[in-house]
Amino acid sequence: MKNKIKTNSSAAKRYKKTKTGKILRAKAFRGHILEKKSSARKRNLRRTGLVKKCDMQAINYLLPN
């Protein structure tokens, strides 16, 4: 029997899987220095983004379930 892989807890907090197997992530550049950024830019940063294909394999290993 193969050993089970534990879910990486830090990755579990950052990423979510969709039903189709894609991975959602939060957008960057929204932590600080928000006064100079426009409202439209900050609003767009609130939305979730998708992880690129080249990073999917690494994140799928961290989120086995």
Q: Write down the pLDDT at residue 36.
A: 97
Query: Cα-atom radius of gyration of the chain, to the nearest Å?
Result: 15
Residue 41 in any domain: the answer is yes
pTM of the model: 0.83
| Under 8 Å between Cβ of 9 and 65 | no
The predicted-structure confidence for 1-24, as pLDDT tens digits, reads as follows 788 899 999 999 999 999 999 999
Q: Write down the pLDDT at residue 45.
A: 98
Residue 1 in any domain: the answer is no
Overall number of domains in the chain: 1
- Pairing outcome for strands 48-50 and 15-17: unpaired
Q: What is the CATH number of the domain that holds 27?
A: 4.10.410.60
Domain that holds residue 46: 9-62
Residue 2 in any domain: the answer is no
For residues 28-48, give the mean pLDDT. Answer: 97
Residue 17 in any domain: the answer is yes
Q: Write down the pLDDT at residue 1.
A: 79
